[in-house]
Structure 1
Amino acid sequence: MTGVWRFDAIGTRWRIDTPQHLPADLRARVEGAVELFDRTWSRFRSDSLVSVLAAAGGSAPAPTDAAPMLALYEELSDATAGAVNPLVAASLSALGYDPAYRLTPSGAPVPAASAWTTAVALAAGELVVAPGALLDVGALGKGRLVDIVGEMVTAATGAPVTVDAGGDIRVWSATERVGLEHPFDPARVIGIWEIADAALCASAINRRAWGPGLHHVLDARTGVPVDTVAATWAVSDSAMRADAASTALFFDGGAERAARWGVEWVRMFTDGRADFSPGCGAELFTRRSTVET
């Protein structure tokens, strides 16, 4: 591909590859879609919809993303016995990953309300949020935005497209070979995964980490960062589902839900072991164990 567009958005570096350079009007529409998503869902913005609703509680017309994202969160919560929950923002902020990026804990971890669907709901076309219920859609939001951006570009150009948002990748009408970055040594990879017309999303404890034992993957039941899984990779037909699966794989029940979704995956533990789904298409340099699901 000869056309490469790089830009920064939602706290990460983006790269869009196409056979030709994208016209200015299409770039402007993509930038508008990214800004709208950020202005709706970012807990780091005081003017975002989720921040405004959480401040005092209330309702607003439901964004188009709300139904698919909240439905997928319900599946994640069910699969992981509540370990994945969109109300982890309170604990992330207490541990230092707050809108001011203090990166210094100010308090103890905060367990998220287990019955989060009573604090956040869709009703009569409205997104209804209880006071203090600040949403964090980090378990699948970036994947959702990758899907939105890539579908806009491929619909406008009819050409092959690869979208890479900080390592979360989706490919349309093309094939990419992707290295699986070693979570303990970014200069190494543990394998290669070739994907075609699919998405590959990853999550790791060395990304968005700001101190010993402090990183962005929390167990919502305790508010504490996980310490048994180091990194996950998941391949699906949508980046949102791959992103969701890469989060679920940090917890019991994640592999079973990935199998139900038809998602292939690789997972590396903090002790250096790795496991992977049956029939996984990744080329791993060391295959030490497998998991049957």
Structure 2
Amino acid sequence: MVVWRFEAIGTRWEIETADPLPPDGRAAVQAVTEHFDRRWSRFRPDSDVSRLRAAGGGFASDDAAPMLDAYRELSAATGGAVNPLVGESLEALGYDAAYSLVAGEPRPAPDDWTTRLEWSADALTMRGPATIDVGALGKGRLVDLVQRALADVPGTVVVDAGGDLSVRDGAIRVGLEHPFDASRAIGVATVGDQALCASATNRRAWGAGFHHVLDARTGTPVVAWTAAWALADEAMTADAVATALFFDGGPELAARWGVHWVRLSSDGRAQRSPGCPIEIFTPTRPDA
């Protein structure tokens, strides 16, 4: 396998293929990542999301409906803990465009997001200013888009965006990094023609107990769970479930969507979905 490494949307990507990607293949991937970033990044001053933050408005996008439809289910399943308008909550704790990492007072996200945002198959409109953050599932969506851009590449294709990955026409074994010690794994997953996505509180963390996984209802970081992994047919689905698993209602949503998962509690014990094929090395809690 040949590995192409590059940076996009603030993370390191690796694409593995049987043969080196030709220039037009790399160009297609770069076009997809740049287009998505220009639409959805709250860290870019020239993005559509940044423009809407100031005054509201709208933009054309065929990603809005898949992502926001999923957000509506995520929000309902978690009692409002997951919310695409959590951007200002993250910024209030220091995870802002300047990466100031200086925490202020927690700020709950607007709980009326489904009335502020309107979306269709090809557009998004927001009433009034607010800060969209699609981090709960956006990277997974982009992994799927990149995999689609490589649909004509023969053989096994692995798209890995900082640990959120998709495998086509093959299978790989992936260690689940322990959030307390990156040199250890809590288990191993075999990913074949599937996606595996992870979320952990040790990534994008700063200060004493501050990290990027927030409860939108309070604007404060979660504490009960420290990491979650989800296996699904598509990366966006896996990414969304990995986020939902930090909250009550996450396991039930995963069951409805047919997604297997593992999560690690703050006391270091693992829990997994019934029948989950992921091998676990660490002590476990009862199945959900």
**TM-score strictly above 0.5:** yes
Partner of 1:289: 285
The corresponding residue for 1:92 is 90
Q: 1:68 aligns with which of 58, 66, 77?
A: 66
Whole-Å separation in 2 of the counterparts to 1:87 and 1:125: 20
Specify the alignment match of 2:142 in structure 1.
145
1:136 paired with 2:124, answer no
The 5-angstrom pairing of residues 191-202 of structure 1 reads: 191-202=187-198
Secondary structure of the 1:258 match is helix
Q: Is the 8 A contact 1:96 1:103 kept in 2?
A: yes
SS of aligned partner of 1:157: coil
Deviation (angstroms), 1:126: 3.6
Structure 2-normalised TM-score?
0.97
97, 100, 103: which one aligns with 1:102: 100
Give the Cα–Cα distance (whole angstroms) in 1 for the partners of residues 59 and 158 of structure 2.
34
* Change in 2 beyond 3 A, CA 1:124/1:202: closer
Match of 1:7 in 2: 6
Paired with 1:165 and 1:37, the residues of 2 have a C-alpha distance of 14
Amino acid at match of 1:21: P
Q: Which structure 1 segments of 5+ residues have no match?
A: none
Shift in Å, 1:163: 0.6
Q: Return the alpha-carbon distance in structure 2 between the equivalents of residues 252 and 284 of structure 1.
A: 22
Q: What residue number does 2:157 align with?
A: 161
Residue number among 219, 229, 233 corresponding to 1:223 in the alignment: 219
Distance 1:20 1:131 in 2: 48
Do residues 116 (structure 1) and 113 (structure 2) align?
yes
Decide whether the 8 Å contact of 2:269 with 2:282 is kept in 1.
no
Q: Secondary structure at the match of 2:152?
A: helix
Within-5 A mapping of 1:243-254 = 243-254=239-250
How far the C-alpha of 1:152 sits from its partner, in A, is 1.2
Return 5+ residue gaps in structure 2 as ranges. none
For residue 166 of structure 1, report the CA deviation from its aligned partner: 0.3
The one-letter amino acid paired with 1:7 is F
The residue number in structure 2 matching 1:51 is 50
Assess if the C-alpha contact under 8 Å between 1:278 and 1:290 holds in 2.
no
Map Cα deviations across residues 104-149 of structure 1 (whole Å, 9 max, x no partner). Answer: 12x2111011121111112595411122221100000000000110
Q: Structure 1, residues 185-243: CA drift from partner, whole Å, max 9, x if none?
A: 00100111111100000000000001111000000000000011000000000000000
Task: State the aligned residue count.
Answer: 288
1:207 aligns with 2:203: yes
What is the CA-CA distance between 1:87 and the residue it aligns to? 0.8
Q: Is the 8 A contact 1:96 1:104 kept in 2?
A: yes
